[in-house]
């Protein structure tokens, strides 16, 4: 490699025949001031465009980095469930153990979706993938996850991604989930998306779910379980036996021996529903008081229980009587309440 002295000599030899004084006389003619200004302005604009282009490229790369869906591995003990879960009992599902074994043998194929847990660095909250999360917790292995910043609404809507494809989310699981979201102030549209319901009558269906869930105590539902083969009509009938979503003391006593029996532990959730429904239904039948009133040549039957009264009127004997009574019912209720208040004041 040439030393500095040798490099200098070579450079001088390149320009050895050049006369510096002659070179100085060959300077270019001076430019008009307007041209100088024009060239200067053009250079500035060119530099501005270059800087803008660089800023735009930096922003594009920044946004691309933020939106990238990188799958990472997390400690499952640092991931908590969604603030409102759509599963009543993950481990109570008969297919869950096979699901765990599948992950043990083949690994976790699909990542779960989580968001950073506010105030707890390194901790996360699951949006969906709760079964995969629980399986990894049981197996004590890292859980594959996508981390994304999500609002509460975005989190519950993300759950609809799986719900729309899930075949085994039971009616009562949907109902309890919908009611929980409603009680947290979410709109029917958001609840519908969270459940993956996209058909035309989805909003009416959400109302059906929340109305039926509001009839039955949640602890009783969780005691029974998901009951995947038990649909809306049966849950609605069970709800009709319960007043104000609270079991009476007599109903609680009727259920207690059923739950403590060995057959309960050996039953699946659909069978448990049947046992509870049978106990409450039998209780209704045992405590029912039947009264027959003979009026105008016909028999009107009233059946009274702890929770309701049914009145049966034969429409063929006096046509229009039932309709007339229904129209008069608001006035009759108002009259009854007025007399009850008047009686309480006299006491």
Tokens of 303: 């059946």
Q: What 3-state class would DSSP assign to 39?
A: helix
pLDDT of residue 189: 87
Given pLDDT bands bounded at 50, 70 and 90, which one contains residue 136?
Answer: very high
Inform me whether the pLDDT recorded for 81 exceeds 50: yes
121: helix, coil or strand?
coil
Write down all domains in the chain, each with its CATH number in brackets: 67-150 (3.90.1530.10), 288-329 (no CATH)
Model's pTM, two decimal places?
0.61
What's residue 342's pLDDT? 76
Spatial distance between the Cα atoms of 164 and 161, rounded to a whole number of angstroms: 6
If one counts every other C-beta atom within 10 angstroms of the C-beta of residue 290, the result is 10
Give the mean model confidence (pLDDT) for residues 120-127: 94
Rounded distance, CA 206 to CA 226, Å? 18
- Average pLDDT value for residue range 324-333: 86
CB distance 157 to 215 below 8 Å: no
Query: 36-50, 111-125, 207-221, 290-304: which has the minimum mean pLDDT?
Result: 36-50
Q: What is the mean pLDDT of residues 153-181?
A: 82
Q: What is the pLDDT of residue 305?
A: 67
Classify residue 141 by burial, with Cβ atoms within 10 Å: 0-12, 13-18, 19+. Answer: middle
Structure-block tokens of residue 62:
């920044």
Backbone angles phi, psi at 322, to 5 degrees: -60, -45
Contact, 158 vs 127, CB < 8 A?
yes
254 vs 42, more confident:
254
Beta-carbon contacts of residue 246 (< 8 Å; ≥ 6 apart) = 217
- The pLDDT of residue 15 is 47
pLDDT tens, 195-206? Answer: 877 665 578 889
Q: Which of 190, 204, 228 has its CA nearest to residue 95?
A: 228
**145 pLDDT band (50/70/90 cuts)?**
very high
pLDDT tens-digit readout, 245-300: 999 888 999 999 999 999 898 899 999 999 999 999 876 666 667 777 888 777 78
Question: Which residues are paired to 112 by β-bridges?
Answer: 145
């Amino acid at each position: 490699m040439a030393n500095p002295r040798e490099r200098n000599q070579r450079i001088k030899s390149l320009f050895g025949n050049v006369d510096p004084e002659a070179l100085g006389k060959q300077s270019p003619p001076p430019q008009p001031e307007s041209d100088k200004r024009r060239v200067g302005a053009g250079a500035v604009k060119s530099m501005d465009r270059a800087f803008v282009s660089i800023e735009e490229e930096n922003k594009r790369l920044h946004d691309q980095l933020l939106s990238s869906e990188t799958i990472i591995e997390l400690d499952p003990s640092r991931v908590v469930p969604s603030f409102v879960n759509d599963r009543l009992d993950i481990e109570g599902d008969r297919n869950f153990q096979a699901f765990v074994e599948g992950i043990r043998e083949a690994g976790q194929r699909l990542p779960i979706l989580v968001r950073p847990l506010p105030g707890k660095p390194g901790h996360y909250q699951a949006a969906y993938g709760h079964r995969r999360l629980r399986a990894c917790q049981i197996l004590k292995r890292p859980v594959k996850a996508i981390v994304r910043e999500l609002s509460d609404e975005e989190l519950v809507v993300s759950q609809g991604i799986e719900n729309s494809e899930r075949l085994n989310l039971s009616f009562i699981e949907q109902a309890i989930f919908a009611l929980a979201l409603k009680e947290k102030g979410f709109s029917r549209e958001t609840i519908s998306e969270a459940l993956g319901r996209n058909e035309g009558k989805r909003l009416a269906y959400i109302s059906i779910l929340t109305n039926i869930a509001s009839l039955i105590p949640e602890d009783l539902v969780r005691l029974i379980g998901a009951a995947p083969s038990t649909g809306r009509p049966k849950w609605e009938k069970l709800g009709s036996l319960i007043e104000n979503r609270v079991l009476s003391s007599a109903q609680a006593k009727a259920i207690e021996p059923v739950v403590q029996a060995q057959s309960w532990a050996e039953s699946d959730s659909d069978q448990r529903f049947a046992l509870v429904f049978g106990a409450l239904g039998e209780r209704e039948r045992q405590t029912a008081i039947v009264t027959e009133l003979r009026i105008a040549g016909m028999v009107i039957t009233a059946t009274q229980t702890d929770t309701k009264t049914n009145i049966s009127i034969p429409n063929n004997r006096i046509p229009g009587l039932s309709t007339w009574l229904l129209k008069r019912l608001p006035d009759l209720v108002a009259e009854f309440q007025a007399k009850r208040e008047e009686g309480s004041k006299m006491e």
